[in-house]
């Protein structure tokens, strides 16, 4: 194993980690604000992947442009899901709320998977754009253009999200609802409406993530759980406090997976994150998802 | 009334005992086997998740361990299958006790996702370590009898349901319910939550492992990773919730419903049963936490 | 302005408020006093739209806002002019003073005149102006209470409800808070106040009610209750 190969592995770990980060930000937004554990998040990504796939294969729309379609589509899916399903959980509090949200979204992910298998078949789909094979080579390190563009878009979107949450009154209202829903309500904030918006935003983020996944990797109807678990691991590692913190933890997971697969073989990639996850879970069961350790 | 019920029970027992002769078609016997397998699976999950309220999303790990160990002892070491199944169950329970103490530091949903991760981890490990198809030796295939599988499943089902009924009459079940309702309150009233949860976990993993063994006994060939698939957890959860969480009869009703629906829809729409099940599950969690059993009871009372 | 009729509040099967009736006229300061656990906070939370009621009715500006089958959410009541400063202040601790105040003016009509109200708040609490970029949870208890009241003022209340604003504060700060309440009232704001510091509160009150075990146990003008021997014994530490 030479230095160059290692660096190359790390670079790819970084790219995939940035997607873990986006998946995790979506999860942690909903968990942080609504105390809802949405395990259907992976399936939302899967749906977005198919949106991109079909607008590419049917209308020839460039996969990166298709993000402009998948994000609003998933935003609306999020609004709909809140209306139909999650709204009924808002009335609960504490443990019961988290547990029921987990169960309900589990059922939802089952439905979405089954529908996807029926309508999209179980075959793996990926998008081959005209520029897919090309890459930039920097000192022997290969940087595929698709991954670079993805990374660029991700940075753009999460910076925008950060700005939105920190600087706009709507974003502040979301943060206020996250911190103390009753106090926010007393300040004049309609909690249900902002919960709905939060779920839709999270779904929109899964739209971005899913489209980028199908460009760089591939999608099957059952791919959701893979991304969900990565997202959960990252959220457990980083807590729900800050967007960039979560994003960095995503990158960290990508790098750790890359290192572990070079050291212990490709097989360990599936396992190393889960081991980290369990260790962190068990070491700080109370501080889990907390702002600080 | 009691006499009437007695006759019913005897009749039912007779029908169940003679079912392979009555059905005579392998596909139907196989369906009957599946119903029994799912009853055992659901009820084993129910012991921890229903009776003690610890939603376990990693039950597939126990099922898988039981299956692998049983298969190895029975097919390779040629132990009697019943003994192999019991040892498979014990292996699953031993594994459960090792992981139980650390994972029970987690509560509620955190325990659930911790177990989910554990289940997925086992799945990933087995997929890497045992990637090959596992087929029975020739002499076992030659002597394969589906009716035999059915009877073993029937015995196991009777044991699990009988044991659960008995358990719910014992004082310890009150401790389990107390932990399910409110762990802190239970502790305050002198119930040791960890002890009760470990007890429920031991039973759940043991019977889950034995059920896995039953499946391993039934399959002519399978991929070892398939018995660790998350679908086993999911099916157990759906069956139990839809039937009636925390009841003995719930998994029975849920399992009949599950297999019937799957057969009904499979010709039209391959996974439509899962769509129906998912939707039904959501409705039950949100609106009818008692499941079908409770709904039926309400309906009866309403009349 | 506010009329509470035979109010009942429960948490699950546990009844916290049995039967409470009182009213608040425009321009008054009405004070509720009572021992711990009497149901004061529960009453206020119900009026403000955080907690559904199980019996009775609450009217605001001659229209029912709460009945057992009618629940008006807090955010809707804020735009109608009812703002509660919750027991324990309930600030957005990780946000700055300015952000807390900005969020207080969330309703559309309050947002329109946000800058003007902000000037008034800063005039009343110069300390908040000095510390407008500080995180709320790093401030002292007194400053936090000022911020809680300031945030409520940003919502342009017609009826300001305060739950134990002086709890745990130093005497000087308590005086400041009571001065502010008096001043707000003089500017035309109607006030409903729950206080442990009965002496100060009654001195300020147009009228007051004593609540015990979820029921009204007495009422009168502030001065009358101050001189009532029972009240003196129970709530004023026996001394005047
Ligand atoms: N969330 C809750 N769940 C259950 N019971 C509650 C809850 N909040 C209050 N209670 C109960 O309702 C009763 C009234 O409480 P409340 O807080 O309204 O009293 P209070 O008069 O404000 O008391 P204090 O002066 O201590 O603030 C108490 O017995 C209390 O234990
Ligand atoms: Mg109080």
Which CATH fold would you assign to the domain B2-302?
Answer: ABC transporter involved in vitamin B12 uptake, BtuC (1.10.3470)
The percent of residues above 90 in pLDDT, for chain C, comes to 83
**Of C178, C171, C170, nearest to C149 (Cα)?**
C178
How far is Cα B89 from Cα B217, in angstroms, rounded to an integer?
13
Say how far apart CA C148 and CA C155 lie, in whole Å. Answer: 11
> What average pLDDT does range C49-68 have in this prediction?
95
What pLDDT is stored for residue A92 in this prediction?
A: 81
Answer yes or no: is the C-beta of C34 below 6 A from any ligand 1 atom. yes
pLDDT digit string (tens) for C91-102?
Answer: 999 999 999 999
Q: What's the confidence (pLDDT) of residue A58?
A: 93
- pLDDT > 90 fraction of chain B, expressed in percent and rounded: 57
Atom 11 of ligand 1, residue of closest alpha carbon: C16
List, as one string, the DSSP characters of C175-202: HHHHHHHHHHHHTT-EEEEE-S-HHHHH
Tell me the ligand closest to C37's alpha carbon. 1
Res. B267 pLDDT band, cuts 50 70 90: confident
Give the integer Cα–Cα distance in Å for B138 and B117.
37
On the question of pLDDT at A285 being above 90, the answer is no
Long-range contacts of B145-148 (CB under 8 A, 24+ apart): B146/B20, B146/B26, B146/B29, B146/B30, B146/B33, B147/B20, B147/B29
Q: Mean pLDDT throughout A98-127? A: 89
- Residue, of A3 and A148, whose pLDDT is higher: A148
At residue C157, the pLDDT reads 96
pLDDT score, position B139: 85
Q: Is the pLDDT of residue C240 over 50?
A: no
* CA distances for B119 relative to B96, B126, B231, C56, angstroms: 12, 11, 11, 53
A222: phi then psi, degrees, rounded to nearest 5: -105, 15
How close C52 gets to chain A, by Cα (Å)? 12
So what's the pLDDT on residue C239? 45
- Contact of C33 with C208, CB cutoff 8 Å: yes
Domain boundaries, chain B: 2-302
Confidence of residue B96 (pLDDT cuts 50, 70, 90): very high
Give, as one character, the DSSP assignment of residue A122: S
Could you tell me how many CB contacts below 8 A there are between chain A and chain B? 112
Tell me, in angstroms, the distance from the centre of ligand 1 to residue B188's CA.
21
Q: Nearest CA to B245 among B109, B50, B44?
A: B50
Q: Per residue in B106-146, pLDDT tens?
A: 887 788 888 988 898 899 889 888 888 888 888 888 888 88
> Given the structure tokens 């009453």, which residue do they identify?
C43
Residue B19 pLDDT > 60: yes
Mean pLDDT within C117-130 = 94
Residue C74 touches chain A, beta carbons under 8 Å: yes
- Quote the pLDDT of residue C94: 92
Alpha helices, H only, A168-242:
169-179, 181-186, 191-216, 224-238
- Band of residue A292 on the pLDDT scale cut at 50, 70, 90: very low
Distance from CA of A234 to the nearest CA of C (A): 23
CB of C41 within 6 A of ligand 1: the answer is yes
Contacts with A291 from chain C: Cβ below 8 Å = 94
Instruction: Look at residue B153 and tell me whether its pLDDT is greater than 90.
Output: yes
C64 pLDDT band, cuts 50/70/90, is very high
Best-predicted range by mean pLDDT (A221-230, B186-195, B205-214): B205-214
Res C50: pLDDT: 95
Q: How far apart are CA B39 and CA B166, in angstroms?
A: 17
Residue of B nearest to A121 (CA): B270
Judge whether residue C237 has pLDDT over 70. Answer: no
Judge whether C71 is closer than 8 Å to chain A, CB to CB.
Answer: no
Q: Which DSSP state fits C5? A: E
* pLDDT over 70 at C76, yes or no: yes
Given a contact cutoff of 8 angstroms between Cβ atoms, the answer to whether B95 and B157 are in contact is no
Residue labelled with tokens 């009571």: C178
CB of A46 within 8 A of CB of A218? no
Ligand 1 atom 7, closest CA: C11
Q: Which residue of A has its CA nearest to B119?
A: A274
- The upper half-sphere exposure of residue A197, i.e. CA atoms within 13 Å in the direction of its Cβ, equals 16
B257 and B296 Cβ atoms separated by less than 8 Å: no
pLDDT band at A293 (very low <50, low <70, confident <90, very high): very low
Summary mean pLDDT of chain A: 89
Taking the Cβ of residue A284 and every Cβ of chain B, the question of whether any pair is shorter than 8 Å is answered with no
């Amino acid at each position: 194993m030479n230095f160059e190969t290692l660096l190359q592995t790390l670079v790819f770990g970084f790219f995939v980690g940035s997607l873990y980060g986006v998946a995790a930000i979506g999860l942690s937004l909903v968990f942080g604000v609504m105390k809802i554990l949405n395990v259907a998040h992976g399936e939302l990504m899967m749906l977005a992947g198919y949106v991109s796939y079909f607008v590419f294969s049917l209308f020839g729309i460039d996969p990166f442009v298709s993000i402009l379609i998948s994000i609003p589509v998933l935003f609306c899916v999020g609004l709909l899901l809140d209306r139909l399903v999650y709204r009924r959980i808002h009335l609960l509090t504490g443990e019961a709320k988290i547990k029921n949200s987990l169960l309900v979204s589990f059922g939802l992910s089952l439905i979405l998977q089954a529908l996807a298998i029926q309508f999209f078949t179980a075959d793996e789909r990926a998008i081959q754009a005209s520029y897919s094979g090309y890459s930039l080579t920097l000192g022997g390190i290969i940087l595929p253009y698709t991954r670079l563009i993805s990374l660029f878009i991700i940075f753009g979107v999460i910076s925008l999200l950060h700005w939105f949450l920190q600087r706009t009154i709507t974003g502040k209202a979301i943060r206020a609802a996250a911190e103390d829903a009753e106090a926010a309500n007393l300040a004049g904030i309609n909690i249900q409406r902002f919960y709905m918006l939060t779920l839709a935003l999270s779904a929109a983020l899964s739209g971005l993530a899913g489209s980028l996944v199908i460009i760089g990797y591939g999608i099957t109807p059952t791919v959701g759980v893979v991304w969900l678990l990565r997202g959960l691991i990252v959220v457990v590692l980083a807590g729900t406090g800050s967007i960039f913190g979560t994003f960095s933890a995503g990158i960290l997971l990508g790098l750790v997976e890359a290192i572990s697969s070079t050291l212990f073989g490709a097989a360990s990639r599936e396992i190393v994150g889960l081991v980290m996850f369990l260790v962190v879970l068990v070491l700080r069961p109370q501080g889990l998802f907390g702002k600080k350790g | 009334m009691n006499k009437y019920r007695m006759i019913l029970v005897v009749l039912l027992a007779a029908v169940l005992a003679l079912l392979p002769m009555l059905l005579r078609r392998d596909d139907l016997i196989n369906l009957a086997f599946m119903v029994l397998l799912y009853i055992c699976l659901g009820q084993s999950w129910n012991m921890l998740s229903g009776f003690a309220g610890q939603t376990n999303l990693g039950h597939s790990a126990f099922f898988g361990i039981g299956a692998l160990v049983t298969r190895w002892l029975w097919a390779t070491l040629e132990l009697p299958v019943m003994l192999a199944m019991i040892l498979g169950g014990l292996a699953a329970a031993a594994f459960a006790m090792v992981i139980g103490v650390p994972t029970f530091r987690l509560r509620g949903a955190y325990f659930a996702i911790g177990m989910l991760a554990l289940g997925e981890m086992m799945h990933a490990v087995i997929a890497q370590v045992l990637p090959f198809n596992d087929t029975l030796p020739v002499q076992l295939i030659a002597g394969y009898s589906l009716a035999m599988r059915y009877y073993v499943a029937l015995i196991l089902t009777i044991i699990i349901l009988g044991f659960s009924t008995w358990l719910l009459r014992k004082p310890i079940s009150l401790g389990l319910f107390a932990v399910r309702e409110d762990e802190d309150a239970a502790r305050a009233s002198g119930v040791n939550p960890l002890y009760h949860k470990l007890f429920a976990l031991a039973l759940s993993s043991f019977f889950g492992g034995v059920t896995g063994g039953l499946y391993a006994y039934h399959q002519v060939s399978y991929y070892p990773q398939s018995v660790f698939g998350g679908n086993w957890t999911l099916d157990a959860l759906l069956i139990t919730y839809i039937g009636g969480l925390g009841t003995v009869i719930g998994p029975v009703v849920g399992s009949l419903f599950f297999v019937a629906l799957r057969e009904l829809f499979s010709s039209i729409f391959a996974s439509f049963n899962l769509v129906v099940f998912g939707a039904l599950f959501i409705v039950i969690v949100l609106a009818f936490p008692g499941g079908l059993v409770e709904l039926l009871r309400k309906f009866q009372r309403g009349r | 302005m506010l009329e509470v009729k035979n109010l009942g509040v429960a948490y699950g099967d546990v009844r916290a408020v049995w039967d409470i009736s009182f009213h608040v006229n425009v321009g008054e300061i009405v004070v509720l006093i009572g021992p711990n656990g009497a149901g004061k906070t529960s009453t206020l939370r119900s009026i403000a739209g955080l907690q559904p009621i199980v019996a009775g009715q609450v009217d605001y500006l001659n229209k029912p806002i709460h009945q057992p089958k009618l629940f008006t959410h807090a955010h809707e009541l804020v735009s109608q002019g009812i703002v509660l400063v919750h027991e324990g202040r309930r600030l957005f601790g990780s946000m700055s003073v300015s952000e807390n105040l900005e969020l207080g003016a969330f309703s559309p009509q309050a947002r329109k005149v946000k800058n003007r109200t902000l000037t008034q708040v800063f005039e009343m609490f110069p300390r908040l102006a000095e510390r407008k970029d500080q995180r709320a949870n790093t401030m002292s208890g007194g400053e936090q209470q000022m911020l809680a009241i300031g945030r409520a003022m940003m919502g342009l209340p017609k009826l300001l409800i305060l739950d134990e604003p002086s709890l745990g504060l130093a005497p000087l700060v308590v005086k400041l808070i009571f001065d502010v309440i008096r001043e707000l009232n003089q500017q035309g704001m109607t006030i409903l106040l729950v206080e442990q510091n009965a002496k100060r509160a009654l001195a300020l009150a147009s009228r007051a009610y004593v609540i015990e075990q979820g029921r009204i146990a007495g009422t009168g003008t502030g001065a009358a209750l101050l001189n009532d021997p029972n009240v003196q014994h129970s709530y004023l530490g026996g001394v005047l």
